[in-house]
Structure 1
Amino acid sequence: MSRRTEIDVRPITEAEFPDWNRALNTGFLMPPAVAEEQLEARGRQFVPGRSLGAFDGDRCVATFRSFDQELTAVGGAPVRADAVSNVTVTATHRRRGLLTRMMAQDLAAAKERGDVVATLIAAEYPIYGRYGFGPATTMTEWTVDVPRAGLGPRWAAPEDGGRIDLVDGEDVRKLGPELHERLRRAQPGAVSRTELWWQSRTGVVNTNGTPWTEPYYALYRAADGEVEGLASYRSDDRWGEAKQPLNTATVDWLLAVTPAAERALWHYLCSIDWVQTVKSGWRSPDDLLPGLLPDPRAARITTQADWLWVRVLDVAEALTARTYEGRGATVLDVVDRSGLTGGRWRLEAGPDGASCVPTTESAHLVLDVAELGALWLGDASAVRLAALGRVREERAGAARVVDALLRTSRRPWCPDMF
């Protein structure tokens, strides 16, 4: 009878980085051999102590990486976050608790550093709730039937006196970071971007190992010359019978800090000659796109799913970092089976600020820390979670009070995959 060897979970060394990357590729069903260019680019993400590996002897069989991030809370305050990424377990070593061990190490270190929340984008829904993460934002992708949209050749330029120009990657690296910062400061759920993010999206470095093809970059300037929008997109080259164009423009990402910029960029994308279909990329579920078209039905939802997941590590700091449109008070009993945060908290909040302190008062609402993560950015509904049996009212109407405090007029959105 064969015996399972003891699996060692530990931070990897630089010497173990190539084997760790091979395991990472294997876990994501990419070719296991890691190209030298890809390894060099990923090496720029390596931070000692923040990349964990599980080793069966000398072979890495599970991967986990985290890094410092800022997440925008409701109201615009940046919150320190532990961003979790590159999580894999090789198929030969599943169901041995490897992810649980790596997650426990990382979250304990994040708590010790003083991070307020942890974040991730979940490849699979059922995995992360048991670690205290809750789905806090939603992603929606639209496919636009351009001929039906009602723009076409009749649209030639922004109606507000602004202009759109095609620019190159150097322009994007110069103008994009400041534009993104303006968006991030105003968009709950948005996260910080590193210099490496901009380099990888403009072909300077290659982190995924696939051949680089330069996209188009469309820049919007307002009438006063201010940069207010930027989009990256690609187009295929398809033609039907009788020489009819069937091209599709696919948006990689689109940033707009004003409604005028958003309108101009979408109108431009839906008016490019030969393009019959526009795929929007990952957008907010209440994005303006459909309403910007003469016929909103031309934009149909083709993907809608959970996106950014949040794990609260400091209840008091998380609830006082954000703002509140209404005024009220409630007592929350937060259950955290990992023991990182939790307890009973009295939240008093209003437009002028909030306090959140431990209390011995009777709870109004009992909820797992994962449900608090789902509610914190203002997208989820406590009333709906109560109907689903995922939060429990100890006082009648408590869920409605929580919704009145936490929910936001515009939905949170995370534009990024990480």
Structure 2
Amino acid sequence: MALDIRTIDDSDLTAWITAMRTGFLISPTPAKDEVEVRGAGMDLARSQGAFDGGRCVGTFRSHPQWLTVPGGAQPAVNAITNVTVSPTHRRRGVLSRMMARDLAAAEERGDAAATLIAAEYPIYGRFGFGAATFCSTWEVHVARAGLDRRYAGPECGGRVDFADGATVRELGPALHERLRATRHGAVDRTERWWRFATGDLPHPTGWKEPFHVLYRSPEGRVDGLLTYGVEEQWTAKQPENKATVRDLVAVSPAAERALWHFLLSVDWLTVVDSGYRAPDDVMPLLLPDPRAARATTAQTDFLWLRPLDVPALLEARTYAAEGSLVLEVTDPDGYAAGRYLLDAGPDGGSCSSTTRDADLTLGAGALGSLYLGDESAARLVAAGLAAEERPGAAARADLLLRTARRPWCPDMF
């Protein structure tokens, strides 16, 4: 029987969620209230299923997203998530067909790009995606960190206080928007995100209430939020407890220092897991002994980006210097294909189709990797993933595109 790939409706939700859980190696039966809770947060018009007879064997959905780019603009992009193909139906073109339908709809809507978090590295390059942000994790051995264990509050005159979930739902969204205005690579958080993070909605895969901590500046402004969980363990009456950071949002250096110092001073904690942080996160530098922060993931890809409207994408961001660049973008699916003249500067840039000779030739995925300023064009050329048509073009691209701080996406989606 031919596979039927179609937009789902309410009657498909149980089968669709079962297939998604199967693909992600979660117990296949939906948890209590999962169908209702998940369904309430899905745009069914942007949710696809692959069906073999009456059984769902593939899942795919997308939702609107706003991505902060260098300079602070937030173009609309198409965020892809919940992508699975059941092991029984691999290598039959299921993902290719669902991806093609979704990208065509995204282009028609006018989305500048598509984004996703890749569960496996090799899958999405063939669809024009490139790794655009990276993340790192550290495990801090508290006793070695060298911080003053007699910590009694921030030295800057601010204060740190515990907060409940309702307070976080009230104050967290505005704080995150302040971060997102200045941190390229960050994406928006919906009201549902905050409700899940604070236990106001039941989490389909289980949820244990964490601790929430707010940092207030000396003027009383909320400039930081820390959320962490603790795994309790004692051996021979000695604490060996581990805290794992679920979220740390700081919009000032003082807030960042205060929240890390607070967490690393909590009694009975011997290890702190940083959670996913930017690869150039300052946390190790805040420690008298940075070696106490052992990299458990030195660097791994996180947010992937697929250009759809190249002029709109390149005109949305700012650039480190004045200059021009002609890019020949190859794209078998056609969305990003073309030759583009970028006239760039610190206040922004203009981008349009051109017949001028190309300076740099690259695929859509390579452009996605360069776009937020993390990857190096010179490195891509050295790896054979881009071609320099004029001497010095890669260096010029890096001068324009790269950013002082690396892009960071704090959120899974």
* TM-score bucket of the superposed structures, by smaller chain: over 0.9
Task: Give the whole-Å Cα distance in 2 for the aligned partners of 1:174 and 1:49.
Answer: 30
Does 2:61 correspond to 1:65? yes
* SS of 1:154 mapped into structure 2: coil
Cα separation, 1, equivalents of 2:243 and 2:129: 35
**Aligned twin of 2:103:** 107
User: C-alpha displacement at 1:382, in angstroms?
Assistant: 0.3
* Residue matched to 1:121: 117
Q: Does residue 170 of the first structure (1) align with residue 166 of the second (2)?
A: yes
Shift of 1:240: 2.2
CA contact (8 A) 1:152 1:270 kept: no
Contact 1:65 1:87 (C-alpha < 8 Å) held by counterparts: yes
Deviates more, 1:391-400 or 1:40-49: 40-49
Give 1:402's aligned residue: 397
Match in the other structure for 1:16:
12
> Does the alignment pair 1:378 with 2:373?
yes
Q: 1:208 aligns with which of 188, 191, 204?
A: 204
Determine the structure 2 residue equivalent to 1:281: 275
Q: What secondary structure does 2:5 align onto?
A: strand
Provide the aligned length of Structure 1 versus Structure 2.
412
Q: How far is 1:245 from its partner?
A: 1.4
Superposed counterparts of 1:122-161, under 5 Å: 122-161=118-157
- The answer on whether the counterparts of 1:149 and 1:294 sit within 8 Å (CA) in structure 2 is yes
Determine the C-alpha separation between the residues in 2 that align with 1:208 and 1:228: 31
1:92 and 2:88 matched: yes
Is 1:293 matched up with 2:287?
Answer: yes
Deviates more, 1:336-345 or 1:151-160: 151-160
- Residues 1:222 and 2:228 are matched in the alignment: no
1:415 matched to which residue of 2? 410
2:31/2:204 contact within 8 Å kept: no
Whole-angstrom CA distance in 1 between matches of 2:85 and 2:44: 21
SS at match of 1:153: coil
Aligned partner of residue 340 in structure 2, secondary structure: strand
Match for 1:250 among 244, 253, 257?
244
Cα displacement (A) at 1:152? 4.6
Measure, in 1, the Cα distance between the counterparts of 2:304 and 2:86: 23
Amino acid at match of 1:7: L
Q: Which of the residues 294, 307, 310 maps onto 1:312?
A: 307
Amino acid at match of 1:67: H
RMSD: 0.9
Matched AA of 2:117? I
Q: Report the alpha carbon displacement of residue 352 of structure 1 after superposing the two structures with TM.
A: 2.9
CA distance in structure 1 between the aligned counterparts of 2:232 and 2:55, rounded to whole angstroms: 44
1:355 corresponds to 2:350: yes
Which residue of 309, 321, 325 maps to 1:326? 321
* TM-score, normalisation: structure 1: 0.97
How much has 1:50 moved relative to structure 2?
0.5
Name the CA distance, whole Å, in 2 between partners of 1:37 and 1:198.
Answer: 19
Q: Which amino acid aligns with 2:247?
A: W
Amino acid at match of 1:55: F
Partner of residue 359, structure 2: 364
SS of 1:223 mapped into structure 2 = coil
| 2-structure distance, mates of 1:144, 1:238 | 17
Deviation readout 1:314-349 (Å, 9 max, x if unpaired): 000100100012111111000011011220001111
Q: Report the TM-score, using the length of structure 2 for normalisation.
A: 0.98
Aligned to 1:195: 191
Contact map agreement 2:324 2:343 (CA 8 A) in 1: yes
Once the two structures are superposed, residues 220-245 of structure 1 have per-residue CA deviations (whole angstroms, 9 ceiling, x without a partner) of 0000000000011011221223x221
Query: Aligned residue for 2:226?
Result: 231
* Matched-pair identity in %: 57
The answer (yes or no) to whether the contact 1:37–1:209 under 8 Å persists in 2 is no
Which residue identity is paired with 2:31? A
1:240 is the counterpart of 2:235: yes
Instruction: Return the offset for 1:24.
Output: 0.4
Paired position in structure 2 for 1:35: 31
Question: What secondary structure does 1:231 align onto?
Answer: strand
Task: Supply the distance in 1 between the matched residues of 2:192 and 2:32 (Cα, whole angstroms).
Answer: 17
* Aligned AA (2:265): S
Unaligned runs of 5+ in 2: none
Instruction: Describe the SS at the equivalent of 2:21.
Output: helix
Mapped partners of 2:49, 2:145: distance in 1: 50
What is the SS of the residue equivalent to 1:232?
Answer: strand
Cα drift, residue 154 of structure 1: 2.6
- Residue identity in the other structure for 1:308: L
Structure 1 spans left out of the alignment, 5+ residues: none
**CA distance in structure 2 between the partners assigned to 1:352 and 1:121 by the alignment:** 30
Indicate how the Cα distance of structure 1 residues 43 and 207 shifts in structure 2: closer, same or farther if over 3 A, else same: farther
Match of residue 42 from structure 2: 46
| Structure 2 partner of 1:337 | 332
